[in-house]
Amino acid sequence: MTLRDLVWAYVTYPAIQAYALFSIAGIVLAAYWGAHPLAMIGAVAATALVYPVVWYLLHRFVLHGRLLYKYPQTAALWKRIHFDHHQDPHDLGVLFGALYTTLPTILAVAVPIGWLIGGPGTAAAAAATGVIITCFYEFCHCIQHLPFKPKTAFLRRIKRHHLAHHFHSEHGNFGITNFFWDRVFNTFYADAKQVPRSQTVFNLGYTGPETARFPWVALLSGLAADGSTVPRRSRSE
Protein backbone atom coordinates (compact mmCIF):
# COMPACT_ATOMS: atom_id res chain seq x y z
CA MET A 1 0.00 0.00 0.00
CA THR A 2 1.31 3.44 -0.93
CA LEU A 3 0.98 6.56 1.19
CA ARG A 4 -1.61 7.84 -1.27
CA ASP A 5 -3.68 4.66 -0.84
CA LEU A 6 -3.42 4.97 2.94
CA VAL A 7 -4.50 8.61 2.97
CA TRP A 8 -7.40 7.86 0.63
CA ALA A 9 -8.63 4.98 2.83
CA TYR A 10 -8.40 7.32 5.80
CA VAL A 11 -10.10 10.45 4.45
CA THR A 12 -12.92 8.57 2.74
CA TYR A 13 -13.98 6.77 5.91
CA PRO A 14 -17.27 8.28 7.22
CA ALA A 15 -16.09 8.57 10.83
CA ILE A 16 -13.08 10.65 9.79
CA GLN A 17 -15.28 12.93 7.72
CA ALA A 18 -17.58 13.36 10.72
CA TYR A 19 -14.58 14.21 12.93
CA ALA A 20 -13.52 16.86 10.43
CA LEU A 21 -16.95 18.48 10.57
CA PHE A 22 -17.05 18.38 14.37
CA SER A 23 -13.57 19.89 14.67
CA ILE A 24 -14.52 22.73 12.31
CA ALA A 25 -17.72 23.31 14.29
CA GLY A 26 -15.70 23.43 17.52
CA ILE A 27 -13.27 25.97 16.12
CA VAL A 28 -16.11 28.16 14.79
CA LEU A 29 -17.90 28.05 18.16
CA ALA A 30 -14.68 28.83 20.01
CA ALA A 31 -14.17 31.91 17.81
CA TYR A 32 -17.82 32.95 18.15
CA TRP A 33 -18.01 32.63 21.93
CA GLY A 34 -14.48 33.90 22.40
CA ALA A 35 -12.14 33.81 25.39
CA HIS A 36 -8.81 35.21 26.47
CA PRO A 37 -6.01 33.85 24.22
CA LEU A 38 -4.14 32.42 27.20
CA ALA A 39 -7.27 30.60 28.32
CA MET A 40 -7.64 29.14 24.83
CA ILE A 41 -4.02 27.97 24.84
CA GLY A 42 -4.49 26.52 28.31
CA ALA A 43 -7.59 24.58 27.26
CA VAL A 44 -5.82 23.16 24.20
CA ALA A 45 -2.72 22.22 26.20
CA ALA A 46 -4.71 20.66 29.05
CA THR A 47 -6.76 18.55 26.65
CA ALA A 48 -3.63 17.38 24.84
CA LEU A 49 -2.04 16.38 28.16
CA VAL A 50 -5.11 14.58 29.52
CA TYR A 51 -5.98 12.70 26.32
CA PRO A 52 -3.20 10.05 26.49
CA VAL A 53 -3.97 9.02 30.06
CA VAL A 54 -7.71 8.89 29.37
CA TRP A 55 -7.06 6.71 26.32
CA TYR A 56 -4.77 4.44 28.35
CA LEU A 57 -7.31 3.97 31.13
CA LEU A 58 -10.21 3.34 28.76
CA HIS A 59 -8.21 0.94 26.62
CA ARG A 60 -6.84 -1.04 29.52
CA PHE A 61 -9.76 -1.14 31.93
CA VAL A 62 -12.85 -0.77 29.71
CA LEU A 63 -12.00 -2.15 26.27
CA HIS A 64 -9.90 -4.93 27.80
CA GLY A 65 -12.10 -5.29 30.84
CA ARG A 66 -14.58 -8.10 31.29
CA LEU A 67 -17.63 -6.08 32.21
CA LEU A 68 -19.22 -5.08 28.91
CA TYR A 69 -19.56 -8.60 27.49
CA LYS A 70 -21.26 -9.88 30.64
CA TYR A 71 -24.53 -8.07 29.92
CA PRO A 72 -26.73 -8.48 26.85
CA GLN A 73 -27.34 -4.72 26.80
CA THR A 74 -23.63 -3.96 26.26
CA ALA A 75 -22.39 -7.12 24.52
CA ALA A 76 -22.87 -5.74 21.00
CA LEU A 77 -21.09 -2.55 22.03
CA TRP A 78 -18.00 -4.42 23.26
CA LYS A 79 -18.02 -6.65 20.20
CA ARG A 80 -18.01 -3.63 17.88
CA ILE A 81 -15.54 -1.41 19.68
CA HIS A 82 -12.86 -3.96 20.56
CA PHE A 83 -13.54 -7.68 20.32
CA ASP A 84 -13.92 -7.62 16.53
CA HIS A 85 -10.79 -5.51 16.21
CA HIS A 86 -8.72 -8.08 18.08
CA GLN A 87 -10.35 -10.95 16.21
CA ASP A 88 -9.19 -9.40 12.90
CA PRO A 89 -6.76 -6.54 13.57
CA HIS A 90 -6.53 -5.57 9.89
CA ASP A 91 -10.27 -5.31 9.21
CA LEU A 92 -10.83 -1.72 8.06
CA GLY A 93 -14.52 -1.97 8.95
CA VAL A 94 -13.74 -2.05 12.70
CA LEU A 95 -10.37 -0.32 12.64
CA PHE A 96 -11.86 3.08 13.48
CA GLY A 97 -13.71 3.81 16.67
CA ALA A 98 -17.50 3.95 16.62
CA LEU A 99 -18.76 7.55 16.60
CA TYR A 100 -21.48 6.82 19.14
CA THR A 101 -18.76 5.97 21.66
CA THR A 102 -15.85 8.23 20.69
CA LEU A 103 -17.67 11.55 20.39
CA PRO A 104 -19.50 11.35 23.75
CA THR A 105 -16.20 10.34 25.40
CA ILE A 106 -14.33 13.26 23.83
CA LEU A 107 -17.02 15.72 24.92
CA ALA A 108 -17.26 14.25 28.43
CA VAL A 109 -13.51 14.71 28.93
CA ALA A 110 -12.74 17.90 27.00
CA VAL A 111 -15.77 20.13 27.64
CA PRO A 112 -15.42 20.22 31.48
CA ILE A 113 -11.70 20.93 31.16
CA GLY A 114 -12.28 23.82 28.78
CA TRP A 115 -15.28 25.17 30.69
CA LEU A 116 -13.38 25.30 33.99
CA ILE A 117 -10.52 27.15 32.33
CA GLY A 118 -12.56 29.83 30.59
CA GLY A 119 -16.20 29.11 29.85
CA PRO A 120 -17.98 28.11 26.64
CA GLY A 121 -15.36 29.42 24.21
CA THR A 122 -12.55 27.42 25.76
CA ALA A 123 -14.87 24.42 26.14
CA ALA A 124 -15.45 24.47 22.38
CA ALA A 125 -11.71 24.83 21.79
CA ALA A 126 -10.99 21.87 24.07
CA ALA A 127 -13.61 19.75 22.31
CA ALA A 128 -12.13 20.62 18.91
CA THR A 129 -8.68 19.71 20.24
CA GLY A 130 -9.94 16.33 21.43
CA VAL A 131 -11.44 15.58 18.03
CA ILE A 132 -8.28 16.64 16.18
CA ILE A 133 -6.12 14.48 18.45
CA THR A 134 -8.49 11.59 17.80
CA CYS A 135 -8.00 12.12 14.05
CA PHE A 136 -4.24 11.91 14.57
CA TYR A 137 -4.63 8.74 16.63
CA GLU A 138 -6.84 7.19 13.98
CA PHE A 139 -4.36 8.02 11.23
CA CYS A 140 -1.53 6.42 13.17
CA HIS A 141 -3.82 3.46 13.86
CA CYS A 142 -4.28 3.06 10.09
CA ILE A 143 -0.52 3.07 9.62
CA GLN A 144 -0.17 0.43 12.32
CA HIS A 145 -2.71 -1.98 10.82
CA LEU A 146 -2.79 -1.44 7.08
CA PRO A 147 -0.04 -2.86 4.82
CA PHE A 148 1.98 0.35 4.74
CA LYS A 149 5.67 0.63 5.64
CA PRO A 150 6.36 3.96 7.35
CA LYS A 151 9.67 5.65 6.70
CA THR A 152 10.07 7.65 9.90
CA ALA A 153 11.58 6.06 13.00
CA PHE A 154 8.69 7.29 15.19
CA LEU A 155 6.00 5.67 13.05
CA ARG A 156 7.96 2.44 12.70
CA ARG A 157 8.45 2.29 16.46
CA ILE A 158 4.82 2.86 17.44
CA LYS A 159 3.68 0.41 14.76
CA ARG A 160 5.96 -2.28 16.18
CA HIS A 161 4.75 -1.69 19.73
CA HIS A 162 1.08 -1.63 18.77
CA LEU A 163 1.27 -4.76 16.62
CA ALA A 164 2.93 -6.56 19.53
CA HIS A 165 -0.21 -5.68 21.54
CA HIS A 166 -2.32 -7.39 18.86
CA PHE A 167 -0.14 -10.36 17.96
CA HIS A 168 1.99 -11.13 21.01
CA SER A 169 0.38 -9.99 24.27
CA GLU A 170 -2.68 -7.82 24.78
CA HIS A 171 -1.70 -7.27 28.42
CA GLY A 172 0.63 -4.40 27.55
CA ASN A 173 1.35 -1.57 25.09
CA PHE A 174 -2.07 0.04 25.48
CA GLY A 175 -0.96 3.31 23.93
CA ILE A 176 -1.36 4.20 20.26
CA THR A 177 1.07 7.05 19.72
CA ASN A 178 2.15 7.61 23.29
CA PHE A 179 3.45 4.85 25.57
CA PHE A 180 4.35 7.12 28.48
CA TRP A 181 1.53 5.85 30.66
CA ASP A 182 2.40 2.26 29.78
CA ARG A 183 5.82 2.98 31.24
CA VAL A 184 4.32 4.64 34.32
CA PHE A 185 2.03 1.68 35.03
CA ASN A 186 4.57 -0.96 33.99
CA THR A 187 2.60 -2.32 31.02
CA PHE A 188 5.11 -1.33 28.35
CA TYR A 189 7.32 -3.84 26.58
CA ALA A 190 9.65 -2.85 23.77
CA ASP A 191 10.55 -6.40 22.79
CA ALA A 192 8.27 -9.43 22.56
CA LYS A 193 10.94 -11.44 24.39
CA GLN A 194 10.24 -9.39 27.52
CA VAL A 195 6.80 -10.95 28.14
CA PRO A 196 5.27 -14.38 27.50
CA ARG A 197 3.10 -14.84 24.43
CA SER A 198 -0.56 -14.54 25.38
CA GLN A 199 -2.96 -17.32 24.48
CA THR A 200 -5.85 -14.86 24.50
CA VAL A 201 -4.40 -12.15 22.25
CA PHE A 202 -7.15 -12.64 19.64
CA ASN A 203 -10.14 -13.30 21.91
CA LEU A 204 -9.28 -11.13 24.96
CA GLY A 205 -10.09 -13.99 27.29
CA TYR A 206 -13.60 -14.38 25.92
CA THR A 207 -13.45 -18.10 25.38
CA GLY A 208 -14.31 -21.40 27.02
CA PRO A 209 -16.24 -20.90 30.29
CA GLU A 210 -16.65 -17.17 29.59
CA THR A 211 -18.52 -17.73 26.33
CA ALA A 212 -20.64 -20.43 27.95
CA ARG A 213 -21.58 -18.21 30.88
CA PHE A 214 -21.95 -14.98 28.89
CA PRO A 215 -22.98 -16.15 25.40
CA TRP A 216 -24.23 -12.88 23.86
CA VAL A 217 -21.07 -11.87 22.00
CA ALA A 218 -20.56 -15.46 20.90
CA LEU A 219 -24.06 -15.57 19.43
CA LEU A 220 -23.50 -12.28 17.63
CA SER A 221 -20.13 -13.47 16.33
CA GLY A 222 -21.14 -17.00 15.35
CA LEU A 223 -18.88 -18.63 17.92
CA ALA A 224 -19.50 -21.63 20.14
CA ALA A 225 -18.18 -21.93 23.66
CA ASP A 226 -15.09 -23.72 22.36
CA GLY A 227 -14.39 -20.97 19.82
CA SER A 228 -15.65 -22.90 16.80
CA THR A 229 -18.09 -21.46 14.30
CA VAL A 230 -21.77 -21.89 15.08
CA PRO A 231 -23.89 -22.99 12.10
CA ARG A 232 -26.07 -20.09 10.87
CA ARG A 233 -29.25 -22.10 11.54
CA SER A 234 -28.25 -22.65 15.16
CA ARG A 235 -27.64 -18.94 15.63
CA SER A 236 -31.16 -18.12 14.60
CA GLU A 237 -32.82 -20.60 16.92
Q: In 10 A of CB 201, how many CB atoms?
A: 18
Question: Quick check: 177 and 136 in contact, CB under 8 A?
Answer: yes
Q: Rounded to a whole number, what is the largest CA-CA distance in the chain?
A: 63
Provide the residue ranges of all domains of the chain, joining segments of one domain with +: 3-197, 207-237
DSSP per residue over 84-110, as a string? Answer: HHHHSTT-GGGTSPPHHHHHHHHHHHH
In the structure, what pLDDT confidence band is assigned to residue 224 with cuts at 50, 70 and 90? low
pLDDT digit string (tens) for 155-190? 999 999 999 999 999 999 999 999 999 999 999 999
What DSSP element (H or E) covers 33? Answer: helix 14-33
pLDDT digit string (tens) for 109-154? 999 999 999 999 999 999 999 999 999 999 999 999 999 999 999 9
Q: How far apart are CA 235 and CA 237, in angstroms?
A: 6
Q: In 10 A of CB 91, how many CB atoms?
A: 11
What DSSP element (H or E) covers 45? Answer: helix 37-57
Q: How far apart are CA 223 and CA 219, in angstroms?
A: 6
Amino acid at the residue 213: R
- Full-model pTM: 0.88
Question: Quick check: 200 and 170 in contact, CB under 8 A?
Answer: yes
